[in-house]
Chains A and B, each alone.
Chain A
Amino acid sequence: MIAILEIVFRLALWLLVAPLLPGIINKVKAWVAGRQGPPVLQLYYDLARLWRKSVVMSTLASPGFVIGPAVAWVALVVAALLVPLGPAGGALSFKGDVLLLVYLLALARFCTSWAALETGSAFEGMGAAREVSYAVLTEAALITAILSLSVQTGSVMLSGMLSLSSGPGALLLAAGLFSVLLAENCRVPFDDPNTHLELTMIHEAMVLDHSGPLLAVVLHGAAVKLLLFAVLLSEAVLPLGRLPPLAAAGALAGSVGLVTVGVGLVESLLARFAFRRVPLLLTIAFLFCLFALVLAWIGGAR
């Protein structure tokens, strides 16, 4: 009974807190630009409005257009449940759950791209092509980061790897994971979430033709993914395990807020890089994680 209540509480936390993050980012961007900006709760209003609307589907689209976003959303939520929340651990924790997390993210990517390509439009084709190609590099960086955490802590479980680190590798890992966060969540400098020109879209291309409840599901899934990466980044870098539980929870919340504000600042201060330079940036992110791995390997072997 208690276990079910705990899972419900966890689920509520992830689902309800996630839409706050894009709101905070937009508010930060507005503040830097000297504007008022939309309210912080804007995404909640948008999701409620979209859920009530009806759907317009392309004549070429198959049922996969509806099933794709659903599968992606479920995959992201289950992945979020696997991530330990500071002292409280993950909902389901077993050896090797970190790989299930990575591949659930891949499942979400597969389904959103499939749903995007359903319409047969070249916009989505371009966006999906870029998304899956850059995902090759971000996947390598993510696995390298996880490998470095694993080598450092000797564990292959999420609850055993996170909230423990510190050391010189933590800075490098932070830089690498922050870049991966920006890339996977389609933020500047990899992708601009406000653009709708075919030459400049990656992720936006994939949500271009969705409407109504489908768009609500996709936007909410993207917010959950952002929260997931922010929590992962915070726990990979900060030694939350050494703090008492309340302090750890507070530190986690504060750090997630800090990461969100950081994303907002990066979005305001940097411009989106040209596509031909994105592989170079992603390679640099990969190298950050690689050097964190090398430091972890040397550090223990000494």
Chain B
Amino acid sequence: MNIGTLLFFGLGTLVAGIALGPRLPRVWLALTIAGTLAMLGAALSMLGGGSAWEWRSGFQLGGETLHLRLDGISAIFLALVAAVGGLGAIYAREYWSDEQHPESAPRSRLWWCAIILSMGFVLLSSNGLHFLIAWELFALSSFFLITLDRSARAGRAAGWLYLAASHAGTLCLFAFFTALAARTGSWELGPMRGHADLGALFWLALAGFGVKAGLFPLHIWLPSAHANAPSHVSAMMSGVTIKMGIYGLIRFSGWLPMPDAAGWTLMGVGSVTAVLGIAFALAQNDLKRLLAYCSVENVGVMAIGIGGALLGAAHGDALWGRLLLAGALLHVWNHGLFKSLLFFSAGSVLHATGTRELSRLGGLWRSMPWTAVMFAVGAAAVCGLPPLNGFVSEWLIYLGLFDTAASRNPSAVMAMPATILLALAGALALASFLKAGAVIFLGAPRTKAAEGAHESGPLMRGSMGALASACVAIGLAPALLWPPIARAVGIWNPAWASGAPPVPLFALGMAHVLLAGLLLAGGALLWRRVHATGMRRALTWDCGYSRPTARMQYTGGSFSAIAAGWFSWILRPERLQHRPRGPFPERASWVERAPETVLERIIEPAGRVVMQLSNAARRLQRGRLQFYIVYLAGGLIALAVLALWTK
């Protein structure tokens, strides 16, 4: 089918979804699924080997003709938007249903279609003005989705923080696009390598897109927004909307001439983001905050890949740059899939028990076996364990970094520390997800809420299952994904457009299939042996305590205490303890909270200083006419002096 037809069909159905969604939930589900399928179809046919699709409108929007373009790079992101959008709609049908949330469910449906639509426009826009309009629309849709539950104070605060940070980034993007338009003479976007003076604008783009992507230290809005939003919204945000920032970075680093320091900076910022992001994740005791910080880590990994690609392009189009960009693009996909899976299972847990706190959960494998298995698959994927998809993209990035070092390129001075930091981040991720998975699903339930859990319904389980199967499939057949990724890399840098993969993805796929087969066989054989020799159940050895309780199990905070202690210089946890006193203590408590350090220790105090200065400046407002006349006269005299002086 024609790409254009599919896209316009998708547009039509999603607009209909916006119009009809609030009142007709089943119709909305059908419309959304149809719309996202159409978008997915368009993206897949472009990925399967189409040439770039372009369309110009007859009418003008804001003084510019609407110019849409779909090429290999945008198709990758569009496919992700469509997949998560469709599966999220199915999930939300059961998770945020009208019975449980009568006033916010209609709004949820409306804004869900709106966000998919606006992200699609961002990806398709080939005109700076419309890019900004679509960007603003999608930021607003995210705000309304985060604050769906208006009664939750945490959600409202998270929404305001998100809006403020998002607009700070959009301000940089406004400056970027207007400067671009001023220097090239038109709002049209396209390859602009010829204009040498555009290089300095990259830093504006980095700031603007970096806020949206969540690079350290611009990530301050991410944890509270993703943690306090409803889970399907968190999945969309973590899985897809932060990728819009990555899309912007990849797109404009391919089109604009880059300053020399761009590659180094991006790789350095990426490595720091990766390690600090996962260190913060390790210290969290709120499941969704942990997952949000883990997204920060993965954005860092993608930034390492993009930075490496920039370095490779600058050093004679070295092939390792191609590997690094391919790894980053594949990681966009993989992270979108497994992070959405993890957020969906977090939502399932929240739906069943009513809490996100690790210290109140436990033993949920018995009541929620499907969710437990899905979470385990997602956790294994996010730690980059073979044979799942997370390993494939991290493998590509590692290989790119190793090639840089082995070829003794000067960029290796940045690539070698990046490799070590990437390894650190991977090991910390393993610790974090073991903590999360074990404390929530294993052992015994710690509170009544956890005891009363129930498995989620078919729609929620189905959407999680689809994502988990995608993770496994990509892990087992990575070579199938190479052609679209290679095409996208070739669009980014035509010198890398040749088709053969520089690494044996086919051999890796074979190894994974072999491993998966052996794992299944080994598990089955051991299971049979265990049941053949007889199995008895007994209580876990409790060290002879007379009245053990489920609260005596190892807590998440203790699990992560060793490694989190190494990062205490930046984590700065706040502790509130009431120690047990006397021979028969009755009351004792220990509360530990890991604050968002950059926000609470740097930006908020700075904000307070700004407020103090503003309060001091308020004294200028006397309220009497004479003062204002004096101010006006003073201003005019100052202007006259300035004009005479600069003559």
Contacts and interface: CB of A to CB of B under 8 A. Distances in A.
B522 A120 contact: no
A194 interface: no
B380 A110 contact: yes
Q: How large is the interface on A (under 10, 10 to 19, 20 to 34, 35 or more residues)?
A: 35 or more
Interface residues of B, dominant DSSP: helix
Contact of A57 (B380, B426, B504, B535): B535
Interface string B444-488: 100000000000000000000000000000000000000000000
B540 A120 contact: yes
Interface string B298-330: 000000000000000000000000000000000
A57 to B, nearest CB: 6
Interface stretch (A37-45, A147-155, A259-267): A147-155
Interface stretch (A58-66, A174-182, A230-238, A249-257): A58-66
A103 B536 contact: no
Contact of B537 (A52, A57, A217): A57
A117 B526 contact: no
Interface stretch (A22-30, A137-145, A163-171, A239-247): A137-145
Contacts of B550: 120
Contacts of B406: 150-151, 153-156
Given A59-B538, A60-B444, A154-B406, A213 B533 contact: yes
A110 B372 contact: no
B514 interface: yes
B539 to A, nearest CB: 6
B405 to A, nearest CB: 5
B434 A113 contact: yes
A126 interface: yes
A155 B529 CA distance: 43
B522 A73 contact: yes
Consensus secondary structure, chain A interface: helix
A99 B399 contact: yes
Interface stretch (B56-64, B251-259, B554-562, B629-637): B554-562
Contact of A54 (B380, B408, B535, B539): B535
Contact of A52 (B441, B507, B533): B533
A95 interface: yes
A55 interface: yes
A106 interface: yes
Nearest to A279: B566
A133 B429 CA distance: 11
Contacts of A117: 434, 438, 442-443, 554
Which of A97, A99, A153 counts the most B-chain CB atoms under 10 A from its CB? A99
B297 interface: no
Interface string A97-119: 10110011011011001100111
Interface stretch (B168-176, B178-186, B381-389, B598-606): B381-389
A55 B528 CA distance: 12
A129 interface: yes
Given A53-B533, A57-B536, A96 B504 contact: yes
Given A70-B523, A97-B511, A129-B559, 11 more contacts: A56-B535, A58-B539, A60-B442, A66-B530, A70-B522, A99-B399, A106-B385, A120-B444, A123-B543, A129-B560, A136-B563
29 contacts: A54-B535, A55-B536, A56-B535, A57-B535, A57-B538, A59-B538, A60-B363, A60-B443, A66-B527, A70-B527, A75-B519, A78-B514, A78-B515, A96-B398, A103-B384, A104-B386, A106-B383, A107-B385, A123-B543, A132-B434, A133-B563, A135-B430, A136-B431, A139-B427, A140-B420, A151-B412, A154-B408, A156-B399, A214-B530
Interface of A: 51-60, 62-64, 66-67, 69-71, 73-75, 77-78, 92, 94-97, 99-100, 103-104, 106-107, 109-110, 113-114, 117-126, 128-130, 132-136, 139-140, 142-144, 147, 150-151, 153-156, 209, 212-214, 217, 279, 293, 297, 300-301
Of all A-B residue pairs in the complex, the 4 with the closest CB atoms, nearest first, are A125-B554, A120-B443, A54-B534, A117-B438
